[in-house]
Homo-oligomer: A and B are copies of this chain.
Amino acid sequence: MGSPEFGEILHRVNFSAPRNFATSLKSDIKETLFPDDPFREIRKGSAGKRTWATLKYFLPILEWVPHYSFRTFRSDFIAGITIATLAIPQGISYAKLANIPPIIGLYSSFVPPIIYTVFGSSKVLAVGTVAAASLLTASIVGAKVSADEDPALYISLVYTATLFSGLFQLIMGFFRLGFLVDFLSHATIVGFMGGAATIVIMQQLKAYLGLKHFTTKTDLISVMKSIFSQKNEWRWESALLGGIFLFFLLLARYVSKKRPRLFWISAVTPLLSVIIASLFTFLIHAENHGIQIVGELKKGLNPISISQLNFSDYFPTTIKTGLITGFLALAEGIAVGRSFAMFKNDNIDGNKEMIAFGMMNIVGSCTSCYLTTGPFSRSAVNFNAGCKTAMSNVVMSVGVMLTLLFLTPLFHYTPLVVLAAIITAAMLGLIDYQAVHHLFTVDKFDFCVCMAAYLGVILASMDIGLMVAVGISICKALLYVARPGTAMLGNMPETGMYRDMAQYPCATRVPGILILQLGSPIYYANSSYLRERIARWFIEEQDYISQTSGESVEYVVLDLSGVTSIDTSGINMLDEVRKLFEKKGVKLALCNPRVEVTDKFVLSQFVETIGPEWLFLTVKDAVATCGFLLHTTKEGNKQKLNPMATGGFANDSNH
């Protein structure tokens, strides 16, 4: 449809047959659930190759076991032993946070890592329990059942919640809903983690001060009240011991940070601290001087706990705990897996990871384990220790097994305050001041989300903080789509380019033509806004040019390059805008609609309504045509918008 009168328009918008529903639905589903095209390998090659690829897809262990070498094992062995030394004190400490017997923390570092080795796709992730999920479990389950008064019921609820977490993770992975995790933004996670770390540290004050009773609530005010109401119970011995070990641990971490080669120092210090402190307590019988100790630990491997699963009265509590902690554990595990995969120039499949997490928690809940995931601290140590494959998890698991079989009596005299020091040191590392500062500089809104999560967690509770932050983030997501940016374009000197006049002061107005750039999808949530915004651009521009040059706007060109999709409300909006302008004698032209948009234009017959000649491939073409018409109509007795004046062009127009 070249119109030689208006300069050379080489290409026009392509309106050839729109994609049918099945095609676009298939493409939408693929983009939503399989953006990384996970079955790429499975589709290639012969039947045998395909079967092997399918097997490998479902059991990632097959990726690396066939060519596993002794050399690789040596690296994995060292890494595995290192994380085992971290796993034992961490397992005991976090179990205390969850108000469950310390031995369950050790159990949880035995079975789940083996399961992960089979199903997990990350080479670096080290499996274990995490502080945030432990505390969250304690706070939700503890609100219903007291761990002190009915420990058996409490533990059974914890196992059941773990089962639900696992099932939830498995289902999420199976239906490839991994993208839901993306709705936890970086800012949310920073704030939430910081808040969780803060309240975990506050909980440790119980151990530091040697208190016997403590509030079950986690918010700042309750904790402070609880502490200061028992001033006369404070024990300086405990505080001193804790302080010394905390200093020792922080020093070790500082050294390791300064010299990455010495990473093993910070990795072994926790176990070393436990051993020294236990020996010390054993020798001077410090348990008689106000230092609380771990006490009796059962010897032996994980007992089967299927019979302890509880599906009766506490169903709402267990399912709530399961969903929240499961989601949180997923978010942390996947974020950790992704970060380290990035370092190794590798890619992990979030949905496969979910299935692996789900499997390990389902099996875990039946073998006396509680919620596990890929904690950041342990995975970082694993990475630094040079692990090559998931085999390091097996080595850790064996290390923990040996401990369970032979070494548990050694932990009898471990002072609780040393565990508190280990937790505190780990938690201090999770409060990411730098990230918060970065958020503050770059994006104030993200900073607000982060602070909302932080304050929500420390002033109310972890679940409330998380929900507040997710709520704000989702509102922001909705606002993004409800208020997409628009800009007025001007001509860049000596080119046919049109750019935002606010951004490029050198861009100049085109007389009589208002050029607007839209962006984002246009649909029900923003179509009213866009209608009003376009009308406002028009009024403002009309005011401005009538004051300066006495002319008026005769053409409005909308650049749709940035519009990724449109729905029925959006098309209605464009049509209303067209009518509105038509009544004022102003003509609307559209530029460069994407394929999703042209499809809808054709289906809704909007192309015929506006007239296909008013759709251009570039702003340049649109401006050239409008400029020509403007010139013609001005010459020809001000015959505004008379299609006859435009010669052959008019044959295509139908208004």
Chain A: residues with CB nearer than 8 A to chain B?
Answer: 10-11, 14, 21, 25, 28, 31-32, 35-37, 40, 179, 182-188, 338, 342, 345, 347, 350, 438-439, 441-446, 473-474, 477-485, 487, 492-495, 497, 499-500, 502-506, 519-521, 523-529, 532-533, 535-536, 539-540, 561-565, 567-569, 571-572, 576, 579-580, 583, 592, 594-596, 598, 600, 603-604, 617-618
CB distance from A586 to the nearest CB of B (A): 12
Asked if A487 and B595 make an inter-chain contact with CB atoms under 8 angstroms apart, the answer reads yes
- Decide yes or no: A441 and B503 within 8 Å by CB, A182-B528, A478-B477 being known contacts: no
**A438-B497 contact given A14-B503, A503-B594, CB 8 Å threshold:** no
Chain B contacts for A500, CB-based, 8 A: 594-595
- The answer to whether B495 touches A568 (Cβ under 8 A) is no
* Contact (Cβ within 8 A) A567 B525: no
Find chain B residues with CB under 8 A from A485 CB: 564-565, 594, 596
- C-alpha spacing A14/B497, complex, angstroms: 15
Contact: A524 with B185, CB < 8 Å?
Answer: yes
6 new A-B contacts at CB < 8 Å, known A179-B529, A185-B523, A520-B564: A35-B533, A185-B567, A473-B524, A480-B565, A485-B564, A499-B617
Contact call B10/A494, Cβ cutoff below 8 A: yes
Q: Are A525 and B477 CB-contacts (below 8 A) given A506-B11, A568-B443?
A: yes
Q: In the A-B complex, list the 6 residue pairs whose CB atoms are closest, starting with the nearest.
A: A562-B562, A185-B524, A519-B564, A485-B564, A503-B595, A36-B532
Enumerate chain B residues within 8 angstroms of A182, measured Cβ to Cβ. Answer: 482, 524-529
B600 touches A443 (CB 8 A): yes
CA distance A147 to B445 in the complex (A): 49
Measured between beta carbons, the chain B residues less than 8 angstroms from A439 are 568
- Measured between alpha carbons, how far is A11 from B505 in the docked complex, in Å? 12
Q: Which residues of B contact A184 (CB under 8 A)?
A: 524
Identify A519's interface contact among B32, B503, B519, CB under 8 A: B519
Q: Decide if A474 touches B478 in the complex (CB within 8 Å).
A: yes
Contact B520 A521, beta carbon cutoff 8 Å: yes
Which one, B342, B502, B596, contacts A579 given CB within 8 A?
Answer: B342
Inter-chain contacts of A505 with B (CB < 8 A): 14
Least distance between A509 CB and chain B CB atoms (Å): 17
A444, B571: Cβ atoms closer than 8 Å: no
CA distance A579 to B346 in the complex (A): 12
10 A-B contact pairs sorted by A residue (CB < 8 Å): A14-B503, A179-B482, A186-B524, A438-B568, A439-B568, A442-B568, A497-B618, A500-B595, A502-B595, A562-B562
- Tell me whether A477 and B483 are in contact in the complex, defined as CB-CB below 8 angstroms, given that A443-B567, A521-B520, A595-B503 are known contacts: no
Chain B: minimal CB distance from A516 (Å) = 13
* Residue contact B571 to A442, C-beta cutoff 8 Å: yes
- Which of A40, A444, A477 gathers the greatest number of chain B CB atoms within 10 Å? A477
Residue from A444, A485, A571 with most neighbouring chain B CB atoms (10 Å): A485
Residue with the greatest number of chain B CB neighbours at <10 A, chosen from A345, A539, A594: A594
CA distance A360 to B282 in the complex (A): 79
In the complex, which residues of chain B have a beta carbon less than 8 angstroms from the beta carbon of A494?
10
Q: What residues of B have a CB within 8 angstroms of the CB of A595 in the complex? A: 487, 500, 502-503
Contact A186 B569 (CB under 8 A): yes
What is the CA–CA distance of A241 and B183 in the complex, to the nearest angstrom?
58
* Interchain CB contact under 8 A, B564 and A484: yes
Residue of B36, B481, B482, B561 near A562 (CB, 8 A) is B561
B568 touches A183 (CB 8 A): no
Least CB distance, A490 to chain B, in whole angstroms:
12
Distance (whole angstroms) from the CB of A354 to the closest CB of chain B: 13
Across the interface, name the chain B residue whose C-beta is closest to A473. B524
Residues on the B chain within 8 Å of A580, using CB:
342, 345
Q: Which residues of B contact A536 (CB under 8 A)?
A: 35-37
* Contact between B446 and A567, CB atoms less than 8 A apart: yes
- Residue pair A521, B474 in contact (C-beta under 8 Å): no
Contacts of A185 in B (CB 8 A): 523-525, 567, 569
Q: Given contacts A10-B495, A568-B446, are A583 and B345 in contact (CB under 8 A)?
A: yes
Q: Is the CB of A444 within 8 A of B21?
A: yes
Pairwise interchain contact A497-B617, C-beta atoms closer than 8 A: yes
Q: How far is the CB of A498 from chain B (nearest CB, A)?
A: 11
Given contacts A444-B21, A477-B478, A524-B182, contact A187 B568 (CB under 8 A): yes
A488 to chain B, nearest CB (A): 12
Q: Which one of A32, A495, A576 has the greatest number of beta carbons of chain B within 10 Å?
A: A495
A546-B604 Cα distance, complex, nearest whole Å: 41
Shortest distance from the beta carbon of A595 to any chain B beta carbon, whole Å: 4
Q: Which of A443, A485, A519, A579 has most B Cβ within 10 Å?
A: A443
List chain B residues, Cβ under 8 A from A35: 483, 529, 532-533, 536
- Check if B497 sits within 8 Å of A11, measured CB to CB: yes
Interface pair B524/A598, CB less than 8 Å apart: no
Q: Contact check, A14 vs B347: say whether CB atoms are below 8 A apart.
A: no
Whether A495 contacts B11 by the Cβ 8 Å rule is yes
| Distance of A540 from chain B, by nearest CB (Å) | 8
A579 to chain B, nearest CB (A): 7
Give A582's nearest chain B residue, CB to CB.
B345
Interchain nearest-CB distance for A11 vs B (Å): 5
Q: Which of A345, A445, A500, A528 has the most CB of B within 10 A?
A: A528
